[in-house]
Amino acid sequence: MNSDSFLKERCFIDGAWVANAGETIKVTNPASGEVLGAAPKFGRAETRRAIDAAYEAFPDWRARSAEERGGFCMKIHDALMDHQAALGELLTREMGKPLAEAKGEVAYAAAFFKWFAEEVRRVYGDVIPSPWADKRIIVTKEPVGVVGSITPWNFPTAMIARKAAAALAAGCPIICKPASQTPFSALAYGVIAEMVDLPKGLLNVITGSASEIAGEFCENPKLRKITFTGSTPVGKGLASNALKYMKRISMELGGNAPFIVFDDADLDRAVDGAIASKYRNSGQTCVCANRVYVQSGVYDAFAEKLTAKARDLKVGDGLENGVEQGPLIDAAAVAKVEEHIADATAKGARVLTGGKPHALGGTFFEPTVLRDVNADMLIASDETFGPVAPLFKFDTEEEVIALANDTEFGLASYFYTNDLGRAWRVMEALEYGMVAVNEGILSTPVAPFGGVKESGQGREGSRYGLEDYLNVKFGLIGGLR
């Protein structure tokens, strides 16, 4: 099968492909401007239909053994891996990331299905020592029920996987609403569901109006949980609406990741980590290094090495061999990057490489390094979501911890040191849900991904990610003597 075999211009509801006669969402390849197709613009009525189907499917699914549910997740894993090349190509065509990264994302997505297929067999309860001789107390875990998921364009395959895999393994049917820029990688899950004979109603994919679909998720009593990955402002609005109806929520929101390089760090390792963290997906991840703090003793050397590597990154259409940085998702993304650079340079920052749209045109942007950046610049407080590494200088550990924590966000953070004492101290002092020491990439299905402060609530991946789809039930059995 090639990437076109996975490109569906209909939604997947209750195990069937549903077309619409009305409005559609046009999808274009950000590298070439080629129109790939159009997805339905559905609203409340179709969302209700998907929720009804999921609700119908729930009793049978939750009653199946963990092994059986996990078995389906394993089949989804295998199907994703069998079609990794085609799905990767589809992802690159609609989102722009280099093919190697796109195929890596498909493998990352598949790994969530494998992880939860295995982990669901270890959903243990408790027996609590009873204060009464004639009564026993037990605690069991039950699936929360029908889940509504809303996912972004930057990881259109993997962000669905870490929600859908946990939901399905736990016993919950799911309705997935992808971003309008990248509906096809999401709709491809319908093809995968058909391939593995997943019972109908368990995995539904609906494209369309975010406000109508999210509104129905919040207000429909048959839906019990909303999981969202996206920006903090949108997440806050969604969470407050969902909590009006007491829905369970998981919110994976914005970040403003500090990337700290101490004088005692292995500098080459830190440069490689910064390249990986900053330029992965052209800087369009919520865990990308957003502020690079470098201690004064190594500032110039680090700036020079980073600049040399950033300058060498090959920019182009993600489908071309050897390309390391694709286009940005759209013109608004380019405008934000330009705004951050203009603000920083107007306030004294210097461009070491890049700094402007790429000669390739469209939404391609040059990998950029800025030096002499300080806390008064917009880039210090706002997530750039683009390929710009701003270098801040610091002198002491206390100073950089205060700077790193001076943000409402608390998702990912990174630092480089060869001092074991400092590694522990700084890891404990950083107010972040995730801290990587001497590594620039930390994502894996086996560890809990998520933030503190305004970066969200809940965790994805790991055993904690499964807990987010389970309710705790207390059972009391009396009259035993």
Closest approach of Cβ 251 to ligand SIN, in Å?
12
- Judge whether 451 and 432 are in contact, CB under 8 Å: yes
Q: Catalytic residue at 286?
A: yes
Closest approach of Cβ 152 to ligand SIN, in Å?
7
322: its two tokens: 């050897």
- Judge whether 40 and 209 are in contact, CB under 8 Å: no
Given 252, 366, 383, 460, the catalytic residue? 252
Nearest to 381 by CA among 253, 276, 278, 254: 254
Closest approach of Cβ 354 to ligand SIN, in Å?
22
Closest approach of Cβ 230 to ligand SIN, in Å?
8
Cα–Cα distance measured from residue 15 to residue 216, given in angstroms and rounded to the nearest whole number = 20
Closest approach of Cβ 279 to ligand SIN, in Å?
14
- Judge whether 310 and 280 are in contact, CB under 8 Å: no
Q: Which is nearer to ligand SIN, 107 or 351 (CB)?
A: 107
Q: Which is nearer to ligand SIN, 307 or 413 (CB)?
A: 413
Closest approach of Cβ 443 to ligand SIN, in Å?
3
169: its two tokens: 């393994």
Alpha helices for 196-326 (secondary structure H)? 210-219, 232-244, 267-279, 299-312
Taking the CA atoms of the chain, what radius of gyration do you get in angstroms?
23
Count of helix runs (H) and strand runs (E) in the chain = 15, 20
Q: Which is nearer to ligand SIN, 146 or 287 (CB)?
A: 287
Q: Which is nearer to ligand SIN, 285 or 462 (CB)?
A: 285
Instruction: List contacts with ligand SIN (CB under 6 A).
Output: 154-155, 229, 285-287, 443
| Cβ neighbours of 272 (radius 10 Å) | 16
- Judge whether 384 and 337 are in contact, CB under 8 Å: yes
By residue count, the chain amounts to 481
Residue nearest to ligand SIN (CB): 443
Cα–Cα distance measured from residue 190 to residue 148, given in angstroms and rounded to the nearest whole number = 16
Task: Spell out the residues 6+ positions from residue 228 whose beta carbon is closer than 8 angstroms to its own.
Answer: 149, 150, 151, 234, 235, 238, 239, 249, 250, 251, 252, 253
Q: Which is nearer to ligand SIN, 286 or 369 (CB)?
A: 286
Given 11, 172, 286, 288, the catalytic residue? 286
Q: Which is nearer to ligand SIN, 230 or 355 (CB)?
A: 230
- Judge whether 160 and 186 are in contact, CB under 8 Å: yes
Nearest to 470 by CA among 250, 279, 311: 250
Q: Catalytic residue at 172?
A: no
Element (H, E) at 426: helix 420-429
Q: Which is nearer to ligand SIN, 204 or 277 (CB)?
A: 277
Cα–Cα distance measured from residue 415 to residue 403, given in angstroms and rounded to the nearest whole number = 13
Q: What share of the chain is helix, strand, coil (3-state, %, to 5)?
A: 45, 20, 35
Closest approach of Cβ 99 to ligand SIN, in Å?
18
206: its two tokens: 């609906």
Active site residues: 252, 286
